[in-house]
Amino acid sequence: MSVYTSVGEAELAAWLSRYSIGQLKSLKGIAAGITNTNYFVDTTHGRYVLTLFEVLRLDELPYYLELMSHLARHGVACPAPIADSTDGYASMLAGKPACLVTCLTGAEVSAPSAAQCFAVGEMLAAMHEAGNTFPRRMANPRGPAWWSATAAGLYAEMDALDAASLREEVAFQDRYRFAHLPTGVVHADLFRDNVLFDGDRVAGFIDFYYACNDVLAYDVAIALNDWARRDDGAIDDALARALLAGYQSLRRFSDDEKAAWPVLLRAAGLRFWTSRLLDLYRPQAGEMTYTKDPKVFQRVVEDHRARRDFWL
Amino acid sequence: MSVYTSVGEAELAAWLSRYSIGQLKSLKGIAAGITNTNYFVDTTHGRYVLTLFEVLRLDELPYYLELMSHLARHGVACPAPIADSTDGYASMLAGKPACLVTCLTGAEVSAPSAAQCFAVGEMLAAMHEAGNTFPRRMANPRGPAWWSATAAGLYAEMDALDAASLREEVAFQDRYRFAHLPTGVVHADLFRDNVLFDGDRVAGFIDFYYACNDVLAYDVAIALNDWARRDDGAIDDALARALLAGYQSLRRFSDDEKAAWPVLLRAAGLRFWTSRLLDLYRPQAGEMTYTKDPKVFQRVVEDHRARRDFWL
């Protein structure tokens, strides 16, 4: 259940008068999404998704919504925000910043095939290409400075061996700088629950609210650490190769990117290991978090440390 | 048959590298469209429509393509142009200006129901609303100055009675000026063959290449003269009322618009009577025109002259 903010039909119908999408027929809460409230909104013109932002402020939304609009205009499969009579994408509804986006078909895939991993990699490369002309910039708020500071605040409470492993990884990453690698718009959270599939075709990337400007190959590493990860926690070689092959069918890694790739895979693991530890040790009051296991990404990082073949 | 310009797969695949829409799977000529060449283009990401412009120049396209993009962003059902790696919507292909747009579902309706006329009227009002924030402007090249000059060049060759009726109409319209009426972006050619339906729902307006800035109610008159016209050439009262009810469900006519409405209906008829006469008497070399009968709109105008109830 993830409808934190209730919206009534009358209130919504009044708010919809700022849009050119027809008359409200019905709305229905969507039981997905951890941070935001989502509704299906059916009008005489079709189905849309209404999002009420529980954490992001109205002035923080333009980067994300204009990015989604930009990517959709470029043919990247993602929801397209609907502009209102002020030509804006977001305004207040029920006390929360809110927006409407197009409703994609397709469904999540929990156990992806190699063909689906290939398609995700290919669409991610398409997204990276299309992002080249996006004019806005946003630094990654969950980069090395963030994970170093966050980890430092948690070591004392952690199991000693886990803390040592985390310290080792933070120290390892501190030895690398990636300023020379190609950067651009990254999704930064392209996990299985953020991609809709229609068969083996990507019907859409969703949940762009971690998107930012960062190293492109790091985004591939984030995706690979989830898409190629089996239920037992190990990375599946065939799925990893498929995702990389899909990505590189459109955008080949440079020599610099290939050299940095093993470190980026560990960095991508560290970022989620750290955020899951934070969720575990510092749960946010009032935020519904079904805490995900940090051990999953501890294992990803430790497996990458021992790995010799990185599928390139 | 309306593929005037042939495009090969290799040539198209090379051109598609400027887009982020996946790899070319197939292309297929579309046997519709009088002025342009259209293809279905299937890629690994989905289906798109490729248009090669046979008459419009590359520098004339931004108004139309940015308008379609603007309207699509606002939720108006219409094809959305796909932006390329330069963030532009059009470039040269096979010697012609070309663009890609999203492929809509739905089909044309040759004998619309009242429900479909209502839906067309409602979507036209939504388009007029959404056009309010479109920043570009284009004067209507087929306004009163155009039809007066065009008609003047044809009277001598026309049947005397028809010419007298045309002169009467041009003189009648010369007595009216509509500078006081609400203006905005108009489709200006919203005939039955330019709307796709999915049941009673408008799946999309297409062919925006006559769009311009003009009197909004004139656009409604153009649509009504086609959508409510029966096979016998008479305007059907129920269909006319339905289209107007749909339009006014979203955007009510002002008193000024109501007063001008009977004249606008005749103006809308005169515009197509004149263009069809032009196509008949001055066929363009090299342009495939299956000439449409000017008499259809002569009758529309003459019927409106005699009409007393204009469905408002």
Contact by Cβ (8 Å): B202, B120: yes
* Parallel, antiparallel or unpaired: strands A24-29 and A46-52: unpaired
* pLDDT tens track for B108-154: 999 999 999 999 999 999 999 999 999 999 999 999 999 999 999 99
Q: Which residues on neighbouring strands pair with residue A235, listed in sequence order?
A: A229
Map residue B96 onto helix, strand or coil. strand
What DSSP designation does A85 have?
Answer: T
Is residue A161 a contact partner of residue A293, using CB atoms and an 8 Å limit?
no
* pLDDT tens per residue across span B47-87: 999 999 999 999 999 999 999 999 999 999 999 999 999 99
| pLDDT at residue A35, as a whole number | 80
User: Contact A201/B86, CB-based, under 8 Å?
Assistant: no
Look at residue A284 in the predicted model and tell me its pLDDT.
76
**What residues of A are in contact with residue B202 (Cβ under 8 Å)?**
45
pLDDT in tens, B154-182: 999 999 999 999 999 999 999 998 989 99
Q: How many CB pairs under 8 A join A and B?
A: 95
Contact A123 B81 (CB under 8 A): no
pLDDT of residue A94: 96
Note the ipTM here. Answer: 0.91
Helices (H) and strands (E) in chain A, counts: 9, 9
The whole-number pLDDT of residue B100 equals 98
Bridge partners for A24 per DSSP: A43
Q: What is the pLDDT of residue B144?
A: 96
pLDDT for A67 equals 98
Residue with tokens 């330019």: B194
Measured between beta carbons, the chain A residues lying within 8 angstroms of B129 are 20, 85
Chain B residues inside the 8 Å CB shell of A122: 22, 44
How many angstroms separate the CA of residue A52 from the nearest CA in chain B? 19
With CB atoms and an 8 Å threshold, state whether A126 touches B75: no
Kindly give the confidence (pLDDT) of every residue in chain A, 312 residues in length, as a single tens digit, with 9 standing for 90 and above. 467 889 999 999 999 999 999 999 999 999 876 689 999 999 999 999 999 999 999 999 999 999 999 999 999 999 999 999 999 999 999 999 999 999 999 999 999 999 999 999 999 999 999 999 999 999 999 999 999 999 999 999 999 999 999 999 999 999 998 989 999 999 999 999 999 999 999 999 999 999 999 999 999 999 999 999 999 999 999 999 999 999 999 999 999 999 999 999 999 999 999 999 999 999 876 555 567 899 999 999 999 999 999 999
Q: Is the pLDDT of residue B32 over 90?
A: no
Going along chain A from its start, the domains and CATH numbers come out as 9-102 (3.30.200.20), 114-306 (3.90.1200.10)
What stretches of chain A adopt beta strand conformation (E)?
24-29, 37-43, 46-52, 90-93, 96-102, 183-186, 195-198, 201-205, 212-215
pLDDT digits (tens, 9 = 90+) for B91-103: 999 999 999 999 9
d(CA B124, CA B221): 11
Which amino acid would we find at residue B183? T
Chain A residue nearest residue B73, CA to CA: A82
Residue A179 burial by CB count (10 A; 0-12/13-18/19+): exposed, middle or buried?
A: exposed
Provide the pLDDT confidence category of residue B1 given band limits of 50, 70 and 90.
Answer: very low
Q: Tell me, what's the pLDDT at A33?
A: 66
B122 CB neighbours in chain A (<8 A) are 22, 44
Nearest to B180, CA basis, from B265, B264, B267, B260: B260
Nearest to A122 among B22, B76, B202 (CB): B22
A59 burial via Cβ count (<10 Å: 0-12, 13-18, 19+): exposed
Confidence of residue B90 (pLDDT cuts 50, 70, 90): very high
Distance from CA of B161 to the nearest CA of A (A): 46
Per-residue pLDDT, averaged over B26-31, amounts to 92
Classify residue B192 by its DSSP letter.
Answer: G
Q: Which residues of B touch A (CB under 8 A)?
A: 19-23, 44-46, 48, 69-70, 72-77, 80-87, 100, 119, 122-123, 126-127, 129-130, 132-133, 201-202, 249-250
Q: Which residues of A touch B (CB under 8 A)?
A: 19-23, 44-46, 48, 69-70, 72-77, 80-87, 100, 119, 122-123, 126-127, 129-130, 132-133, 201-202, 249-250
Among A127, A77, A126, A125, CA closest to A102: A77
A134 residue type, one letter: F
